[in-house]
Amino acid sequence: MPPGRSVRLAVAALLAVSLLLSGCWDRREPETVAWVTALGVDLTPRGEYRFTFQIVQPRGAGGQAGQGPTGSAAENTIVYSVEAPDLIAAIAISEAFVARRISLLHAKALIVGEELAREGVLPTMAAAIRFREFRRTMVMGVTRGTAREFLQKAKPRLEADPSLWFELMLLWASELEQIPLTRVHDFMISLERPGAAAQAVLMASRDEQEGEVDELSGADGGEGDDGEERPPSPFARRAGDVPRAGEVPVEFYGSALFREDRLVGLLSAQDTKIAAMLQGTIDRAPWSVADPLDPKRRVTLMLRNQRPPQVRVTRRGQQVTAEIAVQMEGDLGTAPSLHDYTDPQKMRRLEQAVGQDMEQLATALLERTLHEWEVDLIDLGSHLRRQFLTSADWRAFRWEDRLSRTPAKVHVEFRVRRIGLQVAPPTAE
């Protein structure tokens, strides 16, 4: 029986579809692509940009055929740099010596060197966000020193997958509120809003050292925010100053603040937590406070914002004032002084000490950011903007010029909610 019309049509359709299934102009086999995990940008002495690419070393490369690299990211990544006026040119130049096609589609972080950050990042960012492979989900970081040095040293031993390493480092550190998990999208929004502070993750590389912690730089040379009489908070340090030894010689600790597109200040992990508290984003972050019953020791607690901060921004004529009321709660962690903070009176004293500590630090942080650096770190502008009916009125008010004349008061209340798995501390008596 001769084939019917429907059969002929089906055969014709299959033939037509087979033409489409053979691939298209944009076909890229994964083994022909060099996947960038992190991108660094520095300023060269000649005023050009130096782009540093950290690329995943594919299985089978750099070793015997068929054998994937094992062990650590040190063996799994390739780092190289090129000088170029912008990102697309840097990628094009890379193709002169990298066999595979460079792809940023899976890049996790954009890291800017401190010098470039102080000079201004807008030209770099403007060129990057136009590029289709550049994703605004990349985490935005600033490193003390150069981005090249950071990426060269970012070879962890524990985690072999460099992409996963970046992801995990940023995720855990941000969950503890030691860094802000700022993505390029957040960063650009703040950058484009007059007066707003663009926050980025603070990173640093350090000399590779093995040995005792007290031999290391940063152990006693850290830039603590506390007074000298008491031991400084372990969080009152910035990336590069953390007293430690071993593992990867790079750190994610603290944050970098930008006014317009220029870096104006670096915050310690402690100040980063305070900023998160004022922004109302703390879910579970460790906090260290001087022991109110034994000032030579410290108490560690786990904190969270009990509710979003109550922000009241008042405008009387040209004068703006801000009042922020914060309610925090948390769990008792460790108290090496062995005082029994489950006792109601002592607990109340601890609560007051934590509240006062956070209040003082928050006041000092607002003083520094609003009056010294002239940036609106906690977005007071958004509360003020609601009081204007039109954009023209809001722009004419020039909030960014009034930051340094805006007094801000903070009141923090803290309550202990849980005491862990122990009631009274153990005694040797």
Partner 1 sequence: MREHNLGVAESVSMGVIFIAAKIFLAFPRTMAELGETAAWLIVLIACATSLLTWWSMRGILRHYPGETLITATEQAAGPVIGNLLNLVYLAFFFFITFIVLRQFAETINAAILPHTPLPAMTGLLLGAVAYSAYIGIEALTRVSWLFGRLMLIVITSLLIGALATFMAPAALAPVFGPGLPQVAGWGLVKSSLLGELLIFGLLAPSFRRPELLSRAVYWTLGISGALLLATVLAFTLFAPFPTSERMAFPVLQMSRLIIGGRWFQRLEGLYLIAWVICAVVKLAVGLYGCAAILAQMLRVQSHRVLIFPLAMLAYNAAAMPPNLAETVRWDAEILRNFGWIASLAVPTLTWLPVSLRPQGRAARAAR
Q: Residue numbers of the site for partner 1 (CB under 8 A)?
A: 24-26, 105, 132, 135-137, 167, 171, 183, 185-186, 188-189, 192-193, 379, 382-383, 385-386, 388-394
With b for 16 or more beta-carbon neighbours within 10 A and e for fewer, the 324-348 pattern comes to bebbbbbebeebebebebbeeeebe
In the complex, least distance from residue 322 CB atom to partner 1, rounded to whole angstroms: 15
What residues have CB less than 8 Å from 127, skipping those under 6 apart? 86, 87, 88
The H or E element containing residue 319 is strand 319-334
Least Å from the CB of residue 249 to partner 1: 26
Q: Which is nearer to partner 1, 12 or 189 (CB)?
A: 189
Distance in Å, CB of 391 to partner 1, minimum: 5
Q: Which is nearer to partner 1, 139 or 335 (CB)?
A: 139
Which residue in 320, 242, 318, 334 sits closest to 286, CA to CA? 334
Is 171 or 213 the residue whose CB approaches partner 1 more closely? 171
- Nearest approach, Cβ of residue 62 and partner 1 (Å): 27
d(CA 218, CA 236): 11
**Beta strand pairing call for 298-305 and 319-334:** antiparallel
Render 177-213 in DSSP notation, one character per residue: TSS---BHHHHHHHHTSTTBEEEEEEEEE-----S-G
Whose Cβ is closer to partner 1: residue 84's or residue 181's?
Answer: 181
Closest distance of CB 207 from partner 1, Å: 32
Spatial CA neighbour of 309 closest among 275, 360, 347: 275
Closer to partner 1 by CB, 36 or 43: give it: 36
- Round to whole Å and give the CA distance between 429 and 422: 17
CB of 185 to partner 1, least distance (A): 6
Our CB check for partner 1 shows the closer of 390 and 427 to be 390
Q: How far apart are CA 164 and CA 76, in angstroms?
A: 12
